[in-house]
Structure 1
């Protein structure tokens, strides 16, 4: 039915006073004028103004008016129309609808699933109604909590209408994350239009802070900081050594650059980056804070024409009193990595900072980091041969892809490029700082103020605590096999001489402490006894994780390959070395194998066990059985 026919059938639709309308204060400043012009043009048409007059006064042709009006009259899932919300530039009212089914022959998929969950809901109304029942009647519970509670029953209902090799059973997480996103979206649409009042949706399930900055001139360095992740507008190809020492190459890749910037001095305090086009995890967020806490040292540069400016660097390495300084307030957006427990615990408990989560899709609340990202793109990455403008032509991207293939770099050279570019930014003068550089401003402030500073004498130790996580695990063992007690964590069994003797403690709880960026073959364990804890010492992982030092991310990548049955480990061999050798062998034929090697990072050489030491470890220091 055309727009004119809809208005003829339902003339009450012409009454724009009944339409839902957004708060103009929520519309980005860049789009507010365009939104007002569209609104006046549509209103003028409904009031009987001719197309010629509208074209003259507002600049919109007949076809554009019909298109905008059609968007306004589009119905939401709950039956109400979008109204003036549809006129906001950049707003999508037609969600992506998947047409092709998910390939049932591929197991444990993670890619090519766009729209698969919505397709499932559209094809089976009973599943939609089941999720809707709990999503809209669960009080203030989060979407993740609701999804976890109904997931088991939801999968049972899916099993009645879907085969075991169909979506969601042929995916890695069986649709768990998609279910959380669907509940969030369902709530947003429901409460945003309840009773036709947009304001009722605000704070229905959460009340995000505005994160609006204080007057920057009234702040002291390290008092308020902003953090954000940005997908760099440049391609690069990384080269690494293969099995025989030859160079093997990745496909053109991009990276996420995570930056922590100080509001008062505009200084970049720390950074981290994540290879690949997928989003970044919470551990990458914590690495940027670790970089800010650890005293900076210039890298040894090997690339030609790459050099640090005079005064370049990061405050932790060039400003004496900035060493060991801790941030008081950190402003984030609502990304999952920023709201993760690891991030919240590390910043609030370890650093003692306050976290301010700003409103989603409103970058004006974090102006300094957004402006920095724009500066780095326009004056940094896009000026490289491998840089490109995302809104540019197809030819520009092809040029960047070709340049990336011709100028392959090693991981160390990529580190140098990023470090030099960000360190040099801290040496550039700013008009708002009276033509001082961020590093000069911090040094000037520290030399002229006597205000107390939150500092720590040993920043390296504090930085290590930021990458430390704790778990509560159960001691397992015994049974028919009479297996000695052990702790299971991330597919590995951990034990030591002390734990092996504690057969009477099976099924009791222990607290596990893990340095996720360290060697996770070794963890600390504490037996919980009421309000006290008994230290069990260091537990070591058993085969096949026992030979090669590795981090949590490396183990998760190898575990995934093993789960997909793409990795076969022989008894007595090491899982990490098997993964490395297999990917190096596959890299001769396909570059995606090199991608996985590079993303996994440097895999160390195995540490062969000492037979003499292991023999002593198997002998208990005290008798197992007391003889009478």
Structure 2
């Protein structure tokens, strides 16, 4: 065939598939370009086949096959086109000019394909076979197909032809042909991918700013030592069990929204609520007391930005399934005050919250492990922790207030440091570049919501006995509460009322007629009404009392002061006492009198609307 049987115009050649030259291997691009030029010259009639092969340095037989295969239809429905010019390509054998193909007499390359072209009945059996063909031993369905093909060949008296004249009757060749054909086949409609439908709730809160924040708690890799003056003289030094850093981080900007520090073996849902509430209050720099400690230029928190930007809050919060995260008190306060969707992750899947996990790693490697007592935990059972800080932890005693001051500077400076995920921008700079949208979740009652986030509504029964002179009161957390609003209200005895409880200050409660209508305020009985204490502190005090370890608040002026004194006396023998004493910030600071005594007589006394006089400083 010196000349091609057909000539093609430019319009028809434009419909042929043309591979991208950049997708061809670099060492084969020159060969592809020469083959493309030769094929184009032949099919347009500009050059003869022999002239094109000699001019472009191609084999004449190869160019003839390219011309014959180019108009054929590929499995994707398009013409083979210029893809036949790709070096080392494999193509299906085509029938001759007459269209008649004979049954092969012996095995060889392409014998199965030639057999299927020669016998349409056998080809129909193979095309209707759709059972899976996994690697390894062929399934029984393939064996039945092979038996039917052999039976059809015997019926046609082709026992002396391929594949019946081979030992396995072409079984292996047929299996390889089917597997290769399925690998090369293109399923119609699978090249254009449709947008993935949202099947999980958390997938609906991804992509936009403040659509999602991630929350988690992390054990700080620092060995802390607590030093306390004992009541009988002397100083006791004991190590602290664990320091917990609770963090909420915004996903897109990588900005830390809120954080808090807790001491002890674990944390509870009140600690989580307190941390989330701090992300709603406006942030301002602290008055630093540590020498040479300073905020970096532009350091701060998202709530310290301009009012229009500081009021934004996330639409969803992703947490793990820790018990402190799934408590009913936290869920109720979240739904009532903060708003948003709570997304709980599965156990042992930190990759579902990758941003906050990576944040902890950055904070540890960049700052926290350089604190005195910093270390890198062991990565396997046969290894031990590796000390990172050059200063042992027992040379600098732990102080909760000073440590929180240091963390505030570290986190504020982190928000002002360029992040690799944001290019040359810091998290706060990225937030400033993103204007508030019309549908941004930014309520203007952040202070009120922050206070409500740490409150709960609980039903309480009003107790009392008029004949015995027991005034109406309510009990909450083992403590009696009374107030002028309950005096003389004998009709409420035995009734259930709602109480709004500020979990960070249990000195007072607010009794409610309904969810929104207040009834009166009540105050805790002595010795619980002097010092502000949260729900966790009262639970720890009552636990020591119930254990009958010789501790009691009966007759004490202040339960919290008595509790701190008891912890100091037990810290040499109890690790729980050490951790709880480190948690009490007042216990770690030295007691000092004011330089000038306040003039108590000239200070105005604040009178409450219900007639109760507050004697708190």
Residue 322 of structure 1 aligns to a residue in which SS? helix
Q: Name the counterpart of 1:419.
A: 408
* Aligned-partner Cα distance in 2 for 1:398–1:437: 30
Residue 539 of structure 1 aligns to a residue in which SS? strand
Correspondent of 1:324 among 311, 321, 324: 311
Alpha carbons of structure 1 residues 388 and 211: separation in structure 2 relative to 1, 3 Å: farther
* Aligned-partner Cα distance in 2 for 1:251–1:467: 31
* Aligned-partner Cα distance in 2 for 1:281–1:367: 23
Q: Which runs of 5+ in 2 are unaligned?
A: 1-135, 137-198, 592-600, 613-617
* Aligned-partner Cα distance in 2 for 1:213–1:387: 40
Q: Name the counterpart of 1:288.
A: 275
* Aligned-partner Cα distance in 1 for 2:201–2:517: 45
| C-alpha displacement of 1:268 | 0.5
Residue 510 of structure 1 aligns to a residue in which SS? strand
Alpha carbons of structure 1 residues 294 and 280: separation in structure 2 relative to 1, 3 Å: same
* Aligned-partner Cα distance in 1 for 2:420–2:578: 45
Does 2:257 align with 1:269? Answer: yes
Contact 1:233–1:381 (8 Å) recurs in 2:
yes
Q: Name the counterpart of 1:577.
A: 561
Residue 511 of structure 2 aligns to a residue in which SS? strand
* Aligned-partner Cα distance in 1 for 2:202–2:437: 28
Alpha carbons of structure 1 residues 464 and 575: separation in structure 2 relative to 1, 3 Å: same
Alpha carbons of structure 1 residues 419 and 246: separation in structure 2 relative to 1, 3 Å: farther
Alignment: residue pair count: 396
Correspondent of 1:405 among 394, 415, 434: 394
Superposition pairs for residues 196-595 of structure 1, below 5 Å? 211=202, 218-220=207-209, 222-239=210-227, 249-276=237-264, 278-391=265-378, 396=385, 403-446=392-435, 450-478=437-465, 481-518=468-505, 520-527=506-513, 535-566=518-549, 567-571=551-555, 573-587=557-571, 593-595=577-579
* Aligned-partner Cα distance in 1 for 2:312–2:227: 37
Larger radius of gyration: 2
Alpha carbons of structure 1 residues 571 and 306: separation in structure 2 relative to 1, 3 Å: closer
Greater helix content: 1
Contact 2:224–2:240 (8 Å) recurs in 1:
yes
Q: Name the counterpart of 2:82.
A: none
Contact 2:215–2:248 (8 Å) recurs in 1:
yes
Q: Name the counterpart of 1:21.
A: none
| 361-370 or 450-459: bigger deviation | 450-459
* Aligned-partner Cα distance in 2 for 1:534–1:379: 51
| 553-562 or 246-255: bigger deviation | 246-255
Alpha carbons of structure 1 residues 402 and 558: separation in structure 2 relative to 1, 3 Å: farther
| C-alpha displacement of 1:246 | 7.8
| C-alpha displacement of 1:596 | 2.3
Q: Name the counterpart of 2:581.
A: 597
Superposition pairs for residues 186-197 of structure 1, below 5 Å? none
Q: Which runs of 5+ in 1 are unaligned?
A: 1-43, 45-207, 621-628
Contact 1:237–1:404 (8 Å) recurs in 2:
yes
Alpha carbons of structure 1 residues 522 and 401: separation in structure 2 relative to 1, 3 Å: farther
Give the TM-score of the pair, scaled to structure 2: 0.58
* Aligned-partner Cα distance in 1 for 2:564–2:493: 36
* Aligned-partner Cα distance in 2 for 1:440–1:245: 53
* Aligned-partner Cα distance in 1 for 2:304–2:234: 37
Give the TM-score of the pair, scaled to structure 1: 0.57
| C-alpha displacement of 1:593 | 3.7
